[in-house]
Chain A
Amino acid sequence: MNSSANNDDSYSSLTADTLTAVVYTPQSTRDQGWHIWRTMIREILNSRELIWRLILRDISVRYRQSVLGYVWAILPPVVTVTIFAFLTDSRIIPISQTSLPYVVYALWSIGVWQLFAGCLTACTNSLISAGPLVTKVNFPKEALVTAAIGQPLFDFLIRLVPIICVFIWYDVTPRWQAVFLPLTLIPSILLALGLGFVLSITNLVLRDVSNILTMALTFGMFLTPALYPPPTSWPFGLINILNPFSPLLIASQDLIVYGSLTMPQAFLFSCLFSILVFLVGWRLFHLTMPRISIHG
């Protein structure tokens, strides 16, 4: 049927009398209506192999020319938390009681935050760093953006090592419900991916985007209850609720501490919001990529 589905046997397409035709017109993506989703899903499924290869590439390349290697994934959050633990301990910054020992609380929360922030940054820069691939080669570019989450995800897994260490050191036992933690992480990855789809394309046209993002994420970290407990006082309580990432983080903290959600509605809303952002971002990406590729 489809030419790209013939990959298993490239000879067959040569001998077949009729080959599937691909038609390029100025409106070819727009004319398909709702069927476009089928095309988009098929393109992503056909790119499984490519996405996996790109993820492996990024991971294996990342620390190849460094002595400390994977330690670099662990060091930044550990340093941040150490500084904040010192500041809190010495009462320079008064931070109210957290639901877990402060170091445990902060290290876990920073880890989740950096998973989100890392995914968003990597996705946003994925097209630019791919260089001539974007402008010269025809393949589903969604693969580049999607594969960008591999590296931050892998870094997160490494960061679990010091996190588990502090859990043991402070003698904190998570509730058994912590096995559902991935369900709180997946929406945040989808949220990052959806935003990343839009930002990566915008970044191709306007390089300001990656600079703005770096700044916004610095703010975002302090607007998210990662280094302090969820605020309840005005106006930070409101910001906390409006921030779509906060309920996801709080849900992960809740699962560890209480084994149940303290803000189930907010969590559900954030999940739906993340899925919506992901779908809209993906659709926009698919729609605009062909027009934008010359800017790569």
Chain B
Amino acid sequence: MSEEALIKVERASKKYCRSLKRSMLYGVQDVIREVLTLDGNAERLRKNEFWAVDDVSFEVMRGECLGVIGRNGAGKSTLLKLLSGVIPPDKGKLTIRGQVGALIELGAGFHPMLSGRENIYINGAILGLSKKEIDQKFDEIVAFAELSEFIDTPVKFYSSGMYVRLGFAVAAHFRPDLLLVDEVLAVGDLAFRMKCFQHFLDLKNAGSTIVLVSHNMIDVNRVCDRVIVMEGGKKTHDGGVSAGTATYESHLLKTSGPVNERAPNGAASIERVELFDLDGKPQSDFETGDDLLAKVTISAVRNAPQARLIVHVMTPSLGTLGAFSSPHKGFTFDIVPPGVIIRFSIRAMPLLIGSYSLRLNLYGPEIKDFLHTVTNAASFKIVGPPVDTFGYGVCHTVCFEHDWELIEGSTVNGSINSRRSRT
């Protein structure tokens, strides 16, 4: 594959208006300016306008799969619309090479009264295909969508999953140089999603470039070579996938920040939680299997005897993974003003690449003696080693210790015995 950029985005910006009435007014103004070929105020923000995509530059090479992640409203979908050419940029320049396929709104051209068969032809025509091309691909499309039984049923009787399957099958079954995918797979069931990913990988191997917008970090890890993180219209990360997803998740944690719940007029509260590595250096990046040390500073206005701490380990997407308490290890402590400092450790963390946070609960001896809870009291990232999402290594969140042996039957060539597992 030659190293050529199919996408080249140079300082592109796009603005939107928050108010409907104003957007109508601006729309009319822009049209009049355009008609009179006056230079508009495209480069300035007018009242109620904001940059949905703000000064973004990047390139994507042939055969590369780029993931775009970010929170809702970060500008991901606007960026895809700029790439597909539906809307022009207000500033900057986009150069797109080759034929573009966009999976932005699946089944956008479907007519509810028409059968799946008729809709395939219309949707194909919208995508720029001739009848002959669709004829050739028709059986493949129907088979991929698993709709052969329902192909002559009006699509208004389709379930939402069937609808999306048909839309995906039509849009993905011609070979675009550049495929833009916007969070469209959320509706399909797991089997269909896996089929879609296989299809992406096949396209990628055949030299297509893919841009995938997703909120699902596992999906992004599965197919992308590179990730862009969008934040408030700006590009805040461009590079490795696991680093990007971890950046995004830790950003999610940071923006939510520590959340406090205090007992009214409580005797003591958690001031701060600091994380260190084994050598005592402040640290927020760890690897799977590392030890983590945490220092908890607690302040007090009155005595609080026999206090206990409970620690929850959480992820932004899965919630609480597990929790442990100090009394479990026979540790309770008396708090006296002005306060105390506690240290605890988590040994050999069985966590895979991603972002994690700690929630700490401070209690007296009984459950009614609740003092303070801090969610997102501290956060850390696991940055390595890499995971494997194709079923040849470990992936997702927890790293299990596992061993394998053959206890009955014979091996073909001893490969099962010889491939010892290692975690």
A residues with a Cβ closer than 8 A to B are 3-4, 6-8, 10-11, 13-14, 17-26, 28-30, 46, 49-50, 53-54, 57, 60-61, 64-65, 130-133, 135-139, 201, 205-206, 284, 287-288, 290-295
Contact = CB atoms under 8 A, between A and B. Distances in A.
A136 B207 contact: no
A24 B16 CA distance: 18
B108 A137 contact: yes
A221 B191 CA distance: 58
B87 A8 contact: no
B27 interface: yes
Interface string B81-98: 110111111111111111
Contacts of B2: 17
Given A7-B133, A19-B98, A290-B88, A139 B126 contact: yes
Contact of B98 (A13, A131, A136): A13
Contact of B113 (A13, A65, A290): A65
Contacts of A64: 113
Contacts of A28: 88
B130 A7 contact: yes
Nearest to A294: B87
Interface stretch (B29-37, B242-250, B395-403): B29-37
A21 B16 CA distance: 27
A292 B100 contact: no
B221 interface: no
Given A4-B128, A53-B125, A60-B114, A24 B89 contact: yes
Nearest to B27: A205
A138 to B, nearest CB: 4
A233 B100 CA distance: 61
B175 A206 contact: no
Interface of B: 2, 4, 6, 16, 23-24, 27-28, 30-31, 34-35, 37, 42, 81-82, 84-100, 102, 104-105, 108-109, 111, 113-114, 118, 121-122, 125-131, 133, 174-177, 206-208
A22 B85 contact: yes
B104 A136 contact: yes
Centre residue among A3, A4, A60 by max chain B CB count within 10 A: A3
Nearest to B109: A133
Centre residue among B23, B37, B85, B91 by max chain A CB count within 10 A: B85
B109 to A, nearest CB: 5
A23 B108 contact: no
Given A17-B2, A20-B97, A61-B113, A26 B89 contact: yes
B108 A131 contact: yes
Contact of A26 (B86, B90, B133): B90
Given A14-B175, A22-B85, A57-B114, A291 B93 contact: no
Nearest to B77: A136
Given A6-B99, A133-B108, 4 more contacts: A17-B4, A19-B177, A25-B89, A205-B27
A292 B31 contact: yes
Contacts of B91: 26
B24 A137 contact: no
B176 A10 contact: yes
**Cβ-closest 10 pairs across A and B:** A136-B105, A19-B98, A50-B125, A19-B97, A53-B125, A24-B94, A138-B85, A132-B108, A205-B27, A61-B113
Contact of B99 (A13, A50, A294): A13
Contact of B95 (A22, A29, A139, A291): A22
Contacts of B28: 205-206
Contacts of A50: 125-126, 128
A23 B93 contact: yes
B74 to A, nearest CB: 18
A24 B93 contact: yes
Contacts of A17: 2, 4
A60 B114 CA distance: 9
A291 B109 CA distance: 21
B364 to A, nearest CB: 57
Contacts of A291: 27, 30-31, 34, 88
B130 A8 contact: yes
Nearest to B13: A26
A60 B6 CA distance: 40
A100 to B, nearest CB: 39
A64 B34 CA distance: 42
B86 A137 contact: yes
A49 B23 CA distance: 34
Given A28-B88, A57-B111, A295-B27, A139 B128 contact: yes
22 contacts: A3-B98, A3-B177, A4-B99, A6-B99, A7-B130, A8-B130, A10-B133, A19-B97, A20-B97, A24-B88, A25-B93, A26-B90, A30-B37, A57-B118, A61-B113, A64-B113, A137-B86, A137-B108, A137-B126, A288-B34, A292-B27, A293-B87
A7 B113 contact: no
Contact of B102 (A60, A130, A137, A294): A137
A10 B174 contact: yes
Contacts of A22: 85, 95-97
B6 A19 contact: yes
